[in-house]
Amino acid sequence: MSVRLTELSYGGGCGCKIAPAVLRDMLAGVPMAQAFPDLLVGIESGDDAAVYRLNDEQAIVATTDFFMPIVDDAFDFGRIAATNALSDVYAMGGKPILALAIVGMPIDILPLETIRQILAGGATVCAQAGIPVAGGHSIDAPQPIYGLVALGVVHPQQIKRNNQARDGDVLILAKGLGVGILSTALKKQKLDADGYAEMLHSTTQLNTPGGWLAEMGAVHAMTDVTGFGLLGHLLGICRGSQLAAEIGFARLPLLHSARQLAQQGFVTGASKHNWQSYGDEVELAPSLTEWQRNLLTDPQTSGGLLIACSGDAAQGIVRRLHSEGFAHAAIIGQLRAGAARVFVR
């Protein structure tokens, strides 16, 4: 009897991430790497990747990401996991150069051909990004796990951090929200073919605009929206930059199928944990309902870039994102002086 990949995991994709509040407590006693002056980005602001300066012209971007299946198709799972892992390099403004595979598989349960298809999916995405999967590590594990160590390069003066936003910056989101809700419907076998195609397109679209966004002085901060949801990653920008954010729910780009499924009550457990972790730093308009809040905290797997830029550059950035296939890209709000907090209208 065939086994559905999603049946072997208690959570899929970036919904597997440890809740933000728990993660903060875990890292509270970890010493900062202050003895390494060439470590330009470490764990201090919860940024997307580490960055280490090699010389005045080059820095290495290093990250790793892996998770349990979000879909049942093995090849698609590999593609999604690899796209998600490479996203952190793009979110720092870097260009990927190399990947290593992280593989944990229940060898006695999954057919070897299924595992081969997962690896093939990841390799296909890396080929699209123009990089090799040059090695990796594998273990026999009770639940299937796949991801990448991703390495990239960036000019030290073009790093895009999550803590350099400025008062008055406009906020742009490059992909639609709702991946977690769609994956929940899929696991319950309630997602139709159109919804699956929409989810797959979003989660396998490489965030390559990070490269040209890094070259723009008008772009001050950047991150990608993944497991902590839009509110969680926006709060990361607010805390690091010591600013408040105001966004409009009606301006948020939503995956077409996600709105209806959210209204029907589909929600991930991670969404609820996210809200418990940072809800006291968010002010929601009284008119917003629970399904709308669930979309704001929905864990995104391979989500879109969240960009803080000067107002005069925002429309041009959105137009270019549209021209490169990011049809959902939209201006969603603005940053302003104030305590780190998000207001949703």
Identify the active-site residue in 14, 16, 126, 238.
14
Calculate helix-pair angle for 193-203, 256-263, nearest 10 degrees: 120
Last residue of a domain, one of 158, 188, 204: 158
135 and 211 co-located in one domain: no
Q: Is 215 domain-assigned? A: yes
Q: Which stretches within the chain are classed as H helix?
A: 20-27, 74-91, 112-128, 179-187, 193-203, 210-214, 229-241, 256-263, 269-278, 290-297, 311-323
Residue 1 pLDDT: 43
* Domain annotation covers residue 165: no
Same domain, 216 and 333: yes
Both 201 and 332 in one domain: the answer is yes
Sheet holding 133-140, edge to edge: 39-41, 50-53, 59-67, 145-154, 95-105, 133-140
Residues 149 and 175 in one domain: no
The pLDDT value given to residue 11: 66
Closest to 173 in 3D by CA, of 318, 340, 45, 53:
318
Tens place of pLDDT for every residue, the chain, 345 residues? 467 898 887 666 555 666 666 766 766 766 665 679 999 999 888 899 999 999 999 999 999 999 999 999 999 999 999 999 999 999 999 999 999 999 999 999 999 999 999 999 999 999 999 999 999 999 999 999 999 999 999 999 999 999 999 999 999 999 999 999 999 999 999 999 999 999 999 999 999 999 999 999 999 999 999 999 999 999 999 999 999 999 999 999 999 999 999 999 999 999 999 999 999 999 999 999 999 999 999 999 999 999 999 999 999 999 999 999 999 999 999 999 999 999 999
| Domain at 266, CATH number | 3.90.650.10
Do residues 206 and 280 both lie within one domain? yes
Domain boundary among 158, 193, 223: 158
C-alpha distance from residue 312 to each of 10, 309, 318, 322, 323 (Å): 45, 8, 12, 17, 19
Residue 329 in domain: yes
pLDDT at 213: 98
Q: 92: number of CA atoms within 13 Å, CB side?
A: 32
57 and 202 in a single domain? The answer is no
Residue 163 lies in a domain: no
- Residue 14 annotated in active site: yes
Structural domain boundaries enclosing 55? 5-158
Q: Which amino acid is at 273?
A: H
* Domain final residue, candidates 158, 192, 207: 158
How many domains, in total, are found in the chain? 2
Asked if residue 175 and residue 97 are part of one domain, the reply reads: no
